[in-house]
Structure 1
Amino acid sequence: MERIPSVPLVVNDPYFSIWSPADRLTDVNTVSWTGKKMPIKATLVIDGQPLRVIGTDEHLPAMRQSDLVIEPTQTIAAFEAAGVALELRFAQRFDLSKLETIAEPITYFSAKATVLDGQAHDLKLSVSLDACITYEHLEPGRLAARHFDMSNSQSVCVGKSRQTPLNGSGDLTDIDWGYLYLACPADGRSQVNAVSDWQDHALRGDLDLSTTAEAVGHLLIAYDDVQSINYFGHIQSAYWKQEWPSMPALLDRRTVELPEILADCQRLDRDLDQQAETVGGDAYRLVCATAYRQAIADHKLIRDETGQPILLGKECTSNGCLGTVDVSFPVSPLFLAYNPALVQALLRPVFRFAALPAWPYQYAPHDVGRYPYATGQVYGLSHPRTPNDGIHLEGFDTVPMLYQYPANADLYREYYQMPLEESADMVLLACASDAKLHNGFVAQHRAQLLSWADYLIQNGQDPADQLCTDDFSGHLAHNVNLALKAVLAIGALGQSLTEAGLTAEAGKLIDAAKRMAAQWEQEAASTTDTRLAFDKPETWSTKYNLIWDDLLDLHLISPEVKQRELNRYQAELKPYGVPLDGRDTVVKADWLMWAASEAVGTADLTQFVTPLAKFLHETPDRVPFSDRFDAVSGRDIEWYNRSVIGGVFMPILRQQQLAEKAAK
């Protein structure tokens, strides 16, 4: 059995994300990524004898779980008892090349019963989903349910009687509106119903798996959030709603398409597994399989009022910010590898906010709101902590329309901003996605990108005392890795403008990048590699930003510097990975895989991947994949279920780039 800290079951978006935090599905009840109880329970009755297969119940014995397999798009659990084998699958058809598949909040549940003893068996599987999935706060008894009979399916939904969409925002919060759906094929062997027992309400699916050989049944688990995002004052529904009039209609179509959908999940898993194994072996395959759905499901895909795709990520467990630039940056390898248009969908809201009077700075913003409110940056707000200042956010508060504020509103404290970090991130992502798509994205945003690049030239050679994406470590002046990012971003924009034919502007940037890179190599050097800070001679840190020099073929940093960095990382390896720097033993999983990507194509890569897989196998903290943990103890450090874990796909992106160069 594969062991990971928490097992993804229903994982579709930040408000529809249910996990089993144990080795076996019968060890604990399922929970939201936030830790809130969201019980999914399942019982298989074998010839009149009920056995638990999901969830706990002290009155029922558990069916023995014989296997657990984690694939990129599927979780597969196997059970055996009384001459019967049962296989349960939870699948999300996350094909990044097809936007509808990541937008539709549907989990495809399959159950396959196989007779092992040659005897006929009466088999009934019952699956229930608690109605508490639909709310944070509920007046007693105020739930409503409805049953739908469609052409090819039947479905049932439940939700609060009084719907108040977008009635709150926050970090460790779950949805408080919308409708949970359960559907099944209209095949005579399956049915779904709403059930209630005093104050307990649930949706239940019943599958008749009676057979002398093999029987299969299916359920579709879905969520209609009614309204998804307040996008700069426009109340936007989920991306899928433009094509489908209702959730029952969508579920009816997908029921007909079940065979091809499940086959597509198998294909996706096979392809992704093969790519990961080719790059980094079976350990890397497990790392990518564990990260894939988590990274995607931390986002919500909508359209803006003009119809353009907008991808908004939630910064889970670290403040709930929406569209955080330095969270989009680490997840970007996943999207650059499989659909670069999604990177541009991440950047559009930031460009939009940066152009408004409410953001009066030359550098890029940190975020565009707090989930699910894309109504202006909330990080580093300048306000007294009083209840009457209008912008002090607590708990489940909604976010003011900050984007409408005038330039003199004095919304933000510059001390808490990340000027170089966010500006360089935006430039690098715009250039990298344009290099993949050749769609004029950089030219479209040329003025803003040039302004940010000018800021990087003026301030990036030797950074002042400011925060970077590793803000948990606090402010750091003379940050060598941050200076490196600034240099590479300037070079990247110069290269992109050259390809766009804007050679005069490009030349200035390229000259500046070359000059700054040479100075960086000289001033960053220590006895063995490069420093943490320019004024700290014998310190070290992982220079995870170096990989962009290779990805974009900038050739600004010498190969010798990169090799010395790799040598240092190998010397600093701990049981669960390489620490971020020499100040403590904190590992950042995304940055570890970025730094290790310099070793793609060599046997050295496995030295960095194996400890990360070991962490997944052994950490005692039963939470979704943590990107920040201790290199010695394997204990999670506050952060988990964050989209940044998509950064582990950097070695695959690097391998793709090397293959493309070889083909040319």
Structure 2
Amino acid sequence: MLSYPLLLLAFATQSLTLTPDANGNSLPSYSPARPPAVPLAVRTPYLSAWSSTYNQGTLNTVSPIFWTGDALGWTGIVTVDGISYNYLGNDLLPLTVAYDASYSNFTFLAGPVNITASFFSPVLPKDLCRTSIPLSYLSTTVQSTDDKPHDVQFYSDINSAWVATGEDGVMNWELFRNGASINGTGNVTVAPDTMYSWIYEPGSPLPFGEAADRPRWGNVAYSTQPMGARNFSFQSGPALNIRYSYVNSHSLANNVSTAYNGTWWTEAVFAYAHDFGPVSKAEVRYTVGLIQEPIIRYLTQGGVAQLQPWWKSCYGDKFPMIKIHWDDFKVAQQLAGQAERQLASDVKEFYHVSSPEPAPDTPSPVQSPSTWRASALPTQTILPYIDGSSDAYGFLDPDNFTGLGVPDASESDSYYAIVALSARQVMGSFVYAIPPTVSSCNTSSPGSGEPLVFLKEISSDGNVGTLDVLFPTAPFFLYANPEILKYSLEPIFQLQEGGFYPNPFAMHDIGGSFPNATGHISGDDEAMPVEESGNLILMSYAYYKFSGHSDWLQRHYPTLTRSASYLLAFSKVPAAQLSTDDFAGRMINQTNLGIKGIIALKTMSLMSRMYPATSTTTNADADAMGGVTDAVVKAYYADWERYGIAPSRDHTLLAYQWRSSWGLLYNIYLDKLLNLGVVDKAVYAMQSRWYARVSQLYGVPLDSRHHYTKSDWGIWAAATCSASTRKMFVTSIAYWLNNTATRFPFTDLYETIGDGGYPRVPDEVTFKARPVVGGHFALLALLRTGQTARSEAGDTTGSLFVVNGTNALNSTEQEGYVSFDVESTLMNGFGEPRGETA
């Protein structure tokens, strides 16, 4: 008998016009770039499914993976005229891939039809109800290529790997029709709008527990409708039996088996089949997700609360939410189309280039501004680069210090490829919860009030709400919706102001293990005193500058003063501390850390004029704030220049005492973004020239100790540089995307030499799927303040905070702080505010 995989596929004899490999075989074509992994269903830290492109892997040659790299069972088969083709699973067909901020579309040729599998996770940061839904869409379309009807059936299943089991490995499941359970053998309703949902959960759930970063509680939901099929069927049971049965009969048995254990081919799968008969075009849709009620453990004055997900305040129970999400598909497409056009337009506006023709509201395939592929670029566009030995650095042509990058590539198209890939990864790192004082189901006013938002420090420490992870992520929210930044900072303030943190500086995180935001009452969090104190102050002030809302800032001003008093004492000459780049270890006198503290003190000097000492501010805090003046900040900065700039006066040092060192001075980005004027323009220009002298193939190393870099800090640094150096940073990262040997979701930490793989360090740090890629939006955050690619490095005057052509500086400009028209600003970005339920 034939082996199982051969039963599933008859190879297509036609081929698409794609780039061949050395053996003449067709390779996938990617637009706007080739990501290491393509996002499929990415909505939360636990709903995070990807398709790796490593070693030319495609959607139908390798299994989808969880962000950790572990396999997820998700199968899709289309049968055309009796021949079955895997489009999601393990086999080979010619393929093109296109993505934007919300979509990943895969197009295959299968005999006489094209198959398009469209994975849709809407990125709508202004729409909190839709954003909080933990479900994602998959639409599969068959289109005849010969204008003739063909007999078409669809099959899809998921396995039990989307949630972790207990030690016994048992799963329990049911099939629901319009919210009512079907037990055993069910009668099929073929009405097009009948809602079917497979729901499964661990047999022994452990709320708020994890196993290998997967949750041990919650309901996995896989849903569909008949959608006009002449025959619709379902079945659960052993994978091999069900798939074999479908390939032979093109339908399923309409039975719900009982719970059992199984592995490999005997594992449980939950399947649907749609039979459309002879058609020239047909489409099916599925939704997949993980529904958890409650979603977060949170320390409060009344004890540890179990918080419900925010979507319950919008939709109530899970079955209404599933149905509303399904019915909302067309509206969500329209909103995502609008958001995508806005993103593409904003990228073009930043670079002052002509906007492309607008994409349709429901792009399929994705309408990207252009296709940027390194394989299409002539090799001579890379500047002369001399490879060293296997254990030495490569180096530039000693007569040419203009950097590497890809000079002939469009910078705007390269930047679009980066931010479009980053958007879902950012949004998929957060969960949205109902505060403990709010009703869990406010149906009279859907989605009213404000959520608490919790970040998972994915793939590094697994902490909750880590400040130095939120900090590099912040440009995304400053661009897309500053309110989410506030909702993410609020739990940190609540725990510190509730007396749950004993240290005199800002917390590192609000919980050592996601999803347990239970604080650090003994102050035993990872200590980054200057780092986190600066982060808390700078993000809080940035929120005020981008929202114009001063009341929230004033409410937390006493807490900010305590962090400021620490910075006043310890930021000018930092002790041996960790920075956010903690994988590099502790270091004394960090130049980049020192300037962060000084810039944060500048914002506190501005706030001290906005908010005089209050009854909630202690005498010590008031005394400290009395010391935070512009004169003190200027004096600190003068010392910083004296300590932190190399004797050669051509670059800053990594550490004051280390005269041969250098590093990315990314923390000065906040000085430029917030128009603070702390850093001398000559320093911006000096660093811009220096980066081009030390750039490697895939960008500028993070510092002189290693040849790895971080893409988020690279874009932060790029935002402070001249046009040519900024382009070098941006096109180097895009070039890396097309050539990297990494295999998991977008890593922010990689080698700038060789194959662009994961860092070659003893601990083998492998970052993946982290929200810090929100830092790639640093250029678009500048756009929100009126700055564009035409701005010179370090120029933070004149055009800042101009909205819709109107200079919005107010009467307090002379005092050093500005605001701008909130309503007109929030009209831009991703999505529209959410009013009613769909």
Task: Say whether the fold is shared (TM-score over 0.5).
Answer: yes
Question: Equivalents in 1 of 2:531, 2:776: separation in Å?
Answer: 20
1:13 maps to 2:44: yes
Q: Which residue, out of 87, 90, 93, partners 1:63? A: 93
1:323 maps to 2:465: yes
* Alpha carbons of structure 1 residues 352 and 119: separation in structure 2 relative to 1, 3 Å: same
Deviation at 1:507, TM superposition (A): 8.3
Q: Which residue, out of 731, 741, 744, partners 1:623? A: 744
Structure 2 SS opposite 1:282: helix
Q: Which residue, out of 538, 543, 566, partners 1:455? A: 566
Amino acid at match of 1:515: A
Residue of structure 2 equivalent to 1:592: 714
Deviation at 1:489, TM superposition (A): 0.5
Amino acid at match of 1:294: Q
Amino acid at match of 1:510: D
Question: Equivalents in 1 of 2:682, 2:343: separation in Å?
Answer: 32
Structure 2 SS opposite 1:658: coil
Residue of structure 2 equivalent to 1:422: 532
Residue of structure 1 equivalent to 2:631: 511
Deviation at 1:208, TM superposition (A): 4.2
Indicate conservation of the 8 Å contact 2:208/2:297, yes or no.
Answer: no
Structure 2 SS opposite 1:196: strand
Indicate conservation of the 8 Å contact 1:113/1:209, yes or no.
Answer: no
Question: Equivalents in 1 of 2:58, 2:661: separation in Å?
Answer: 44
Amino acid at match of 1:646: G
Q: Which has the higher mean CA deviation after the structures are superposed, 14-23 or 161-170? A: 161-170
Residue of structure 2 equivalent to 1:640: 768
Residue of structure 2 equivalent to 1:471: 582
Q: Which residue, out of 423, 437, 446, partners 2:547? A: 437
Indicate conservation of the 8 Å contact 1:577/1:611, yes or no.
Answer: yes
Question: Equivalents in 2 of 1:598, 1:210: separation in Å?
Answer: 59
Residue of structure 2 equivalent to 1:261: 332
Deviation at 1:216, TM superposition (A): 2.5
Q: Which has the higher mean CA deviation after the structures are superposed, 296-305 or 247-256? A: 247-256
Within a 5 Å distance, the mapping from 1:465-544 to structure 2 comes to 465-500=576-611, 508-526=628-646, 527=648, 528-544=650-666
1:54 maps to 2:174: no
Structure 2 SS opposite 1:255: helix
Structure 1 SS opposite 2:315: coil
Residue of structure 1 equivalent to 2:297: 230
1:219 maps to 2:286: yes
Indicate conservation of the 8 Å contact 2:155/2:271, yes or no.
Answer: yes
Question: Equivalents in 1 of 2:194, 2:668: separation in Å?
Answer: 52
Q: Which has the higher mean CA deviation after the structures are superposed, 189-198 or 45-54? A: 189-198
Q: Which has the higher mean CA deviation after the structures are superposed, 646-655 or 534-543? A: 534-543
Q: Which residue, out of 218, 221, 231, partners 1:181? A: 221
Indicate conservation of the 8 Å contact 1:328/1:644, yes or no.
Answer: yes
Indicate conservation of the 8 Å contact 1:229/1:374, yes or no.
Answer: yes
Question: Equivalents in 1 of 2:685, 2:589: separation in Å?
Answer: 23
Indicate conservation of the 8 Å contact 1:115/1:211, yes or no.
Answer: no
Amino acid at match of 1:427: I
Structure 2 unmatched runs, 5+: 1-28, 180-190, 239-259, 351-410, 439-449, 615-621, 760-765, 788-799, 808-838
Amino acid at match of 1:164: P
Q: Which residue, out of 109, 117, 131, partners 1:88? A: 117
* Alpha carbons of structure 1 residues 193 and 278: separation in structure 2 relative to 1, 3 Å: farther
Deviation at 1:352, TM superposition (A): 2.0
1:146 maps to 2:175: yes
Deviation at 1:357, TM superposition (A): 4.3
* Alpha carbons of structure 1 residues 520 and 210: separation in structure 2 relative to 1, 3 Å: farther
Q: Which has the higher mean CA deviation after the structures are superposed, 491-500 or 611-620? A: 491-500
* Alpha carbons of structure 1 residues 595 and 145: separation in structure 2 relative to 1, 3 Å: same
Indicate conservation of the 8 Å contact 1:184/1:192, yes or no.
Answer: no
Question: Equivalents in 1 of 2:612, 2:801: separation in Å?
Answer: 23
Structure 2 SS opposite 1:599: coil
Deviation at 1:278, TM superposition (A): 4.5
Residue of structure 2 equivalent to 1:311: 453
If you compute each CA radius of gyration, which structure gives the higher value, 1 or 2? 2
- CA deviations on 1:298-334 (whole Å, 9 max, x unpaired) are 1111122134411111111211111111001010000
Within a 5 Å distance, the mapping from 1:558-573 to structure 2 comes to 558-573=680-695
Within a 5 Å distance, the mapping from 1:184-223 to structure 2 comes to 184-185=224-225, 187-189=227-229, 191=232, 193-197=234-238, 199=262, 200-208=267-275, 212-223=279-290
Amino acid at match of 1:647: G
Question: Equivalents in 1 of 2:470, 2:199: separation in Å?
Answer: 34
Deviation at 1:514, TM superposition (A): 2.1
Q: Which residue, out of 504, 514, 531, partners 1:362? A: 504
Question: Equivalents in 1 of 2:169, 2:706: separation in Å?
Answer: 49
Residue of structure 2 equivalent to 1:293: 424
Q: Which has the higher mean CA deviation after the structures are superposed, 325-334 or 525-534? A: 525-534
Q: Which has the higher mean CA deviation after the structures are superposed, 90-99 or 143-152? A: 143-152
Question: Equivalents in 2 of 1:228, 1:187: separation in Å?
Answer: 32
Residue of structure 2 equivalent to 1:79: 108
Residue of structure 2 equivalent to 1:385: none
* Alpha carbons of structure 1 residues 244 and 165: separation in structure 2 relative to 1, 3 Å: farther
Q: Which has the higher mean CA deviation after the structures are superposed, 221-230 or 336-345? A: 221-230
Taking only the aligned residue pairs, the percentage that are identical comes to 24
Residue of structure 2 equivalent to 1:120: 149
Deviation at 1:269, TM superposition (A): 2.1
Within a 5 Å distance, the mapping from 1:321-400 to structure 2 comes to 321-369=463-511, 370-377=513-520
Q: Which has the higher mean CA deviation after the structures are superposed, 44-53 or 32-41? A: 32-41
Residue of structure 2 equivalent to 1:656: 784
Deviation at 1:454, TM superposition (A): 0.9
Residue of structure 2 equivalent to 1:391: none
Amino acid at match of 1:655: L
Deviation at 1:623, TM superposition (A): 0.4
Indicate conservation of the 8 Å contact 2:165/2:171, yes or no.
Answer: no
Deviation at 1:537, TM superposition (A): 2.4
Indicate conservation of the 8 Å contact 2:115/2:141, yes or no.
Answer: yes
- CA deviations on 1:141-196 (whole Å, 9 max, x unpaired) are 542213122694413133236453425247x4101221111222453328574511
Equivalent pairs counted in the alignment come to 624
- CA deviations on 1:264-323 (whole Å, 9 max, x unpaired) are 222222222332354441111111111111111011111221344111111112111111
Deviation at 1:568, TM superposition (A): 0.9
Question: Equivalents in 1 of 2:750, 2:100: separation in Å?
Answer: 23
Question: Equivalents in 2 of 1:506, 1:549: separation in Å?
Answer: 22
Indicate conservation of the 8 Å contact 1:118/1:212, yes or no.
Answer: no
Indicate conservation of the 8 Å contact 1:92/1:265, yes or no.
Answer: no
Indicate conservation of the 8 Å contact 1:330/1:646, yes or no.
Answer: yes
- CA deviations on 1:85-130 (whole Å, 9 max, x unpaired) are 1111111112011112221011111122211112111111212111
Indicate conservation of the 8 Å contact 1:166/1:229, yes or no.
Answer: no
- CA deviations on 1:474-507 (whole Å, 9 max, x unpaired) are 1110111000000000111222343457799588
Amino acid at match of 2:452: I
Residue of structure 2 equivalent to 1:251: 322
Question: Equivalents in 1 of 2:539, 2:693: separation in Å?
Answer: 31
Amino acid at match of 1:475: R
Residue of structure 2 equivalent to 1:35: 69
* Alpha carbons of structure 1 residues 290 and 136: separation in structure 2 relative to 1, 3 Å: farther
Question: Equivalents in 2 of 1:147, 1:349: separation in Å?
Answer: 37
* Alpha carbons of structure 1 residues 264 and 153: separation in structure 2 relative to 1, 3 Å: farther
Indicate conservation of the 8 Å contact 2:165/2:202, yes or no.
Answer: no
* Alpha carbons of structure 1 residues 506 and 278: separation in structure 2 relative to 1, 3 Å: farther
Question: Equivalents in 2 of 1:95, 1:64: separation in Å?
Answer: 32
Structure 2 SS opposite 1:582: coil
Amino acid at match of 2:89: G
Deviation at 1:647, TM superposition (A): 0.7
* Alpha carbons of structure 1 residues 192 and 219: separation in structure 2 relative to 1, 3 Å: farther
Deviation at 1:37, TM superposition (A): 2.0
Question: Equivalents in 1 of 2:505, 2:608: separation in Å?
Answer: 20
Structure 1 SS opposite 2:43: strand
Q: TM-score, with normalisation over the residues of structure 2?
A: 0.71
Residue of structure 1 equivalent to 2:381: none
Within a 5 Å distance, the mapping from 1:130-169 to structure 2 comes to 130-137=159-166, 139=168, 142-149=171-178, 152-160=193-201, 162=203, 164-169=205-210
